[in-house]
Amino acid sequence: MTKTKEPTENTALDDAGRRNFLNTAAFAGLAGASLGLAGCQPDGEGGATSTGGSIDYGKYQVHPGQLDEYYAFSSGGHSGEVRIYVLPSGRLLKRIPVFNIDCMTGWGITNESKKILGTHPDGTLKYWTGDTHHVHPSYTDGTYDGRYLFVNDKIHGRIARVRLDTMECDKITELPNIQGFHGIFPDKCDPLDSAVNYTTRVFCGSEFHTPLPNDGRDLDDPTRYSCVFTCVDAETLEPRWQCQVDGNMDLVATSYDGKLVCSNQYNTEGGAVFADMMLRERDACVFLNVARIEAAVKAGKTFTIGDSKVPVVDGTQAANADPATALTCYVPVPKNPHGVNISPDGRYYACSGKLSPTATLIAHDRVLQWFEGRLQDPREAVVAEPEIGLGPLHSAFDNRGFCYTTLFLDSQIVKWNIEAAIKAYQGDSSAQVVVDRLDVHYQPGHGFTSMGETREADGKYFISDNKFAKDRFLPVGPLHPENSQLIDISGDKMKLVHDTPVWSEPHDSIVVRRDIIKTRQIYNMDDFPHAVKSPLDCRVERNGRKVTVYLTSQAPTFGLTEFKVKRGDEVTIILTNHDKVEDLTHGFAIPKHNINFIVNPQETKSVAFIADKPGVYWCYCTHFCHALHLEMRSRMLVEA
């Protein structure tokens, strides 16, 4: 395949050599699966590789004192966190600890964060690892409303919610009966009442088959393994219902009218080993009829699994053959699809082929027609299946009828026209589907457009999150940064305008217009029941071997210059920040006791620990706050 080489400085290999190095390994792996892939078209046949032409890079710079146009909320992968970048500069503003321990903020250390994360009876964390994959905000009127951000934990099957006014996690729930929680997406509208046009549910896919219940039975009989799909209440973050399905679920998408939620699926065979997962010619995109499922739940047509009290409905293909009563619809798509995304007009779902050089376009109204008994075969819901290149993974949309799909094997972004793809599927040989291609560096995974998962897609930027960086940045050892690339999609040709190195492993991101996000700068002290509201209230209270220290901070002093406890005491420190100045945060650390956390203006946090080491321990402020920051200390005196 002929490609136009993009000039770079200090390159060890040219673009073709770098891409061939990675693609050779990829093709070798695919050859082992005995699957053939059609080659992508050369330049001039179905769209040329874009060079971007002459680029004014200064157009994308954000100078000192200026603010960016967009927030980009990104999953942190196996760090267990969420990250906030801003665009177009690519600057990292904040890392939000969610499923991980963070010794700066004190997440996983303070009593408040431990309560959210979940603990064993002895107060130790139940889990201290996480794997965030997908982040999605809440909606009102089909666009982001700035209330919440929802994120999954693939390892331990948990869903978390981040408040966007404080950019901090406020709830975490472990889902029952699942393993490998991957896809997640909020709803945008109630399935029965269009007046409820905001997020009330969050849908969660389960990727790994397990015995149900997974309590030691059926270990050696994979034919009895299964998956369930979970609907979670957006406010309580508790499961409303679950639906047992065939196949492993990957990503999730929700319709704008609230009627359907879907997940692309692989391993519809239900295999437990690689060879058994590759037997069928096709897998599926499963659609769940939300109103019918909730009617079945209300009517008690459910069962439960193990100790879980969550009602479960049967959404397997065998139990849903009659469209008139079916809860689910399995639309066949090419083998091992990866990713499903809905267009901003709500008309189409795009499934990427991964092992097929195609994308499958499924019409929303045709899926509804199948549920109404007006289609003979679910496959009739497919309205286009264009050949776009090698290794399609994820698709995003602009506001002009174009779809942008990441090509993992080709290391490209391909821009294709939705209506032209439909015409070509109907037999119009003159329809030009692919209109542009752009080389990225290298092996793109997720791709996303500015406001592209809302009705307000603006068609300005596309972000390509690439799994390999290789020689794009200065070397930092065997573990390279990954490469998030900013692409201008506002014109006919895509333009690569910025590289941002990102810490492993960002999996998904969402680009939100900055005016949507309204944050708090100072907390309300009255929101904290245990707040120490006056420096005069600083004190030490003892109840047997339990000691509570009530403490305030106000730059540059703590409310107590010292406090005394005895060896073996169970000590709880409650600290309230009395400063009212924006950005004036205090830290609190105790040497040798694993205590370190911050308290923002007017906020209260607490920690509990055993004072098991006699001696003098200087409690000091870890977050620079004042010219006399180094002098901001208190002494913990532990008697032997």
For the stretch 211-242, pLDDT in tens is: 999 999 999 999 999 999 999 999 999 999 99
Task: Determine if the peptide bond prior to 505 is cis (ω within 30°).
Answer: yes
Which is it for strands 402-407 and 412-417: parallel, antiparallel or unpaired? antiparallel
Residue 53: its pLDDT value, please?
A: 62
Going by pLDDT thresholds of 50, 70 and 90, the confidence category of residue 2 is very low
The token duo for 532 is: 């120490």
Statement: residue 31 has pLDDT above 80: no
Please report, rounded to a whole number, the percentage of residues in the chain having pLDDT higher than 90: 87
Task: Identify which has the larger pLDDT, 443 or 44.
Answer: 443
Q: Average pLDDT for residues 394-398, to the nearest whole number?
A: 97
- In the numeric block, the tokens 């004036």 are attached to 584
Residue 49: its pLDDT value, please?
A: 55
For 303-340, the pLDDT digits (tens) are: 999 999 999 999 999 999 999 999 999 999 999 999 99
Sign of the Cα torsion 525, 530, 536, 539 reads negative
Strand partners for 152: 159
Task: Identify which has the larger pLDDT, 444 or 506.
Answer: 444
Nearest of 610, 607, 585, 611 to residue 598 by alpha carbon: 585
CA-CA-CA-CA dihedral for 263, 267, 271, 276, to nearest 10: 180
Sign of the Cα torsion 273, 279, 281, 283 reads negative
For 267-277, the pLDDT digits (tens) are: 888 888 988 88
Going by pLDDT thresholds of 50, 70 and 90, the confidence category of residue 50 is low
The token duo for 72 is: 């980009």
Q: How far is Cα 456 from Cα 453, in angstroms, rounded to an integer?
A: 8
- Inter-residue contact 333 to 383 (CB < 8 Å): no
The token duo for 472 is: 């794009």
Please report, rounded to a whole number, the percentage of residues in the chain having pLDDT higher than 70: 92
Going by pLDDT thresholds of 50, 70 and 90, the confidence category of residue 4 is very low
Which of 98-109 are b and which e, b meaning 16 or more Cβ less than 10 Å from the residue's Cβ? Answer: bbbbbeebbbbb
Task: Determine the 3-state secondary structure of 453 from DSSP.
Answer: coil
Strand partners for 73: 84, 510
For 160-191, the pLDDT digits (tens) are: 999 999 999 999 999 999 999 999 999 999 99
Statement: residue 5 has pLDDT above 60: no
Residue 246: its pLDDT value, please?
A: 94
Residue 3: its pLDDT value, please?
A: 40
Distances in whole angstroms, Cα of residue 392 to Cα of each of 255, 411, 437: 22, 10, 13
Residue 227: its pLDDT value, please?
A: 96
Statement: residue 481 has pLDDT above 50: yes
Burial class, 409, CB count within 10 angstroms (exposed 0-12 / middle 13-18 / buried 19+): buried
Which of 433-470 are b and which e, b meaning 16 or more Cβ less than 10 Å from the residue's Cβ? Answer: bbbbbbbbbbbbbbbbbbbbbbebbbbbbbbbbbbbbb
Residue 279: its pLDDT value, please?
A: 85
Within 33-142, residue ranges assigned H as helices are 111-117
Side chain identity at residue 637, one-letter code: L
Residue 47: its pLDDT value, please?
A: 43
Statement: residue 15 has pLDDT above 80: no
Statement: residue 25 has pLDDT above 90: no
Which is it for strands 239-245 and 312-314: parallel, antiparallel or unpaired? parallel
Give percent helix, percent strand, percent coil of the chain, each to the nearest 5.
15, 40, 45
Statement: residue 10 has pLDDT above 60: no
Statement: residue 17 has pLDDT above 60: no
Q: How far is Cα 118 from Cα 173, in angstroms, rounded to an integer?
A: 9
Distances in whole angstroms, Cα of residue 493 to Cα of each of 48, 227, 230, 438: 10, 42, 41, 9
For 131-145, the pLDDT digits (tens) are: 999 999 999 999 999
For 509-555, the pLDDT digits (tens) are: 999 999 999 999 999 999 999 999 999 999 999 999 999 999 999 99
How many CB atoms neighbour CB 11 within 10 A? 15
Q: Average pLDDT for residues 257-263, to the nearest whole number?
A: 98
Statement: residue 503 has pLDDT above 70: yes
Question: Which phi and psi angles does 539 have, rounded to 5°?
Answer: -170, 170
Task: Determine the 3-state secondary structure of 625 from DSSP.
Answer: coil
Residue 380: its pLDDT value, please?
A: 98
Q: How far is Cα 620 from Cα 598, in angstroms, rounded to an integer?
A: 11
Q: Average pLDDT for residues 247-268, to the nearest whole number?
A: 95
- In the numeric block, the tokens 């673009």 are attached to 15
**Across the chain, how many H-helices and E-strands are there?**
5, 41
Task: Count Cα neighbours of 22 within 13 Å in the Cβ-side half-sphere.
Answer: 24
Please give the mean pLDDT across all residues of the chain: 91
Residue 269: its pLDDT value, please?
A: 85
Residue 42: its pLDDT value, please?
A: 40
Residue 13: its pLDDT value, please?
A: 36
Q: Average pLDDT for residues 278-301, to the nearest whole number?
A: 96
Q: What is the pTM of this model?
A: 0.92
Statement: residue 29 has pLDDT above 90: no
Length of the chain equals 640
Q: How far is Cα 414 from Cα 47, in angstroms, rounded to an integer?
A: 9
Task: Identify which has the larger pLDDT, 16 or 640.
Answer: 640
The token duo for 568 is: 């073996």
User: Which range is least confidently modeled, 37-41, 152-156, 249-253, 609-613?
Assistant: 37-41
- Inter-residue contact 157 to 179 (CB < 8 Å): yes
